[in-house]
Structure 1
C-alpha cells in the first residue's frame, strides 16, 4: 500500500460521527452496578486502563442507568468475559421491559457472583474482575461522559496470569482474548507477536 497515494484515502465528514465508517478494535467488558434493591450489568467496549496505575475508565451516557447508578453509589465492577461467554455478555445488553427491573428480567438469570469489596455483581465466568470506587466523572463529550474509577481489588484467572515472556504466545493461543470490532462484530484473539520496540525504549 502506497500511503502517499491520495487515491488510497477517502475524506470523512467530521460534522457527523465518523466511527461507523471503519473498523476499530476494543476490549469487551461488562460493568456491574448496584440498582435499587437489585443490580445492573451492561456491556461496554469504549473501556480502557487510565494510565499505568490502578485506574480504569469507560464511556457512558447520562441517559443510561449505569451512569446514574455509579453517580449514586460511587462504585462499579468490571468483568472481562471469556470468548465463550459472548452470548451471555450480549444478553446483558437487552433493553428493559417497562415496569420490570432489568435485574428481575435478565440479570438474575445470568451466571454472576457478588464482588468481594463493593456491592455489585461480577460475571462469574470471566478471566479478569476489577472492583472500582468512583474516581471522577467527566461530562461534556457530546451526549457522552467518561466514568473513571480507582481499582481497589482485582482478581485474574490462573490461566491468564502472565508468568513468563517466553511463554506469552503459547499462553494466549491456549487462552484467547475476546475483542469487540466496532461497530457490531467481535473477534477471538489467539495469535499474537512481540511488538518491535526500539532499543532503549521506555514507556
Structure 2
C-alpha cells in the first residue's frame, strides 16, 4: 500500500528555482580557458563525469566568458582543488572590471601551471587535472548551457591515486577532498564509509 508524505515535509514552489531552499553536495572545480592573449579561470560546481567513459561536463551561461572561450578554442582544462585551496576558487569568481583584462585582474594573482596538450592553465597543487576537447554544447536550460568535453589527458597527484595496497579511509583521512554545498558552504571530506552494494551488483 502506498503511503503519503508525512507532515514534516514542506512543498517548494517550482515557479522559481528551488535550489536555495536546501543544501546539496557538489564538486568544486575550476575551468581554465584561453581568452584572447590571456587566460580565464572560473569556478563551477554544477559539474560531473558523463557516463563511465572519459567525458566530463559543466553548466555555464553565455553571459560568462568561459562559454565563448570554449566555443572559440574548442578546449578547456579542469582543476579539482583541495580543501586548503577554497580561497583560490573564490578569487576566480571575483567580479570583473570591464576596463581591465581578466588576466591582469585575477589570473596574475592565482598560482597556476601550464597545461600539457592544450592552451590553458591549471590551478597549481590541485589533486586532479583534466585537459578536455569540446564534445558538444547543449543550449536551452533557460539562460544556461551544458558544456561537455572528451578528456584528452588526465593527471592525479600521487597522494590521491587509488592503489590496492593502501586503506581507502586512511588515504582520504590523510588527503581530504573538497566538496561544495550550494548555495554557499563547503566541506573538507576526511571521513567516509564503504557503500553497502547488494550482493551480485555490477556497474
Normalising by the smaller structure, the TM-score range is over 0.9
TM-fit CA distance, 1:15:
1.4
Q: What secondary structure is seen at the aligned counterpart in 1 of 2:167?
A: helix
Q: What secondary structure is seen at the aligned counterpart in 1 of 2:26?
A: strand
CA distance in 2, matches of 1:118, 1:98: 27
CA distance in 1, matches of 2:187, 2:107: 25
Q: What secondary structure is seen at the aligned counterpart in 1 of 2:20?
A: helix
1:80 maps to what in 2? Answer: 80
Task: Check 1:23–1:165 CA distance in 2 against 1; reply closer, same or farther (3 A cut).
Answer: farther
Task: Check 1:166–1:123 CA distance in 2 against 1; reply closer, same or farther (3 A cut).
Answer: closer
Q: Which runs of 5+ in 1 are unaligned?
A: none
2:144 maps to what in 1? Answer: 144
Deviations 1:12-69 (A, max 9, x none): 1011101110100000000000000000000000001000000000000011000000
Q: What secondary structure is seen at the aligned counterpart in 2 of 1:27?
A: coil
1:119 maps to what in 2? Answer: 119
CA distance in 2, matches of 1:77, 1:86: 18
Deviation >6 Å, runs of 4+: none
2:194 maps to what in 1? Answer: 194
Task: Check 1:17–1:165 CA distance in 2 against 1; reply closer, same or farther (3 A cut).
Answer: farther
Q: Structure 2 matches for 1:104-115, cutoff 5 A?
A: 104-115=104-115
TM-fit CA distance, 1:4:
5.5
1:161 maps to what in 2? Answer: 161
CA distance in 2, matches of 1:166, 1:111: 30
CA distance in 1, matches of 2:97, 2:187: 30
TM-fit CA distance, 1:95:
1.2
| More deviation, 98-107/110-119 | 98-107
TM-score w.r.t. the length of structure 2 is 0.96
CA distance in 1, matches of 2:196, 2:58: 29
CA distance in 1, matches of 2:134, 2:69: 11
1:71 maps to what in 2? Answer: 71
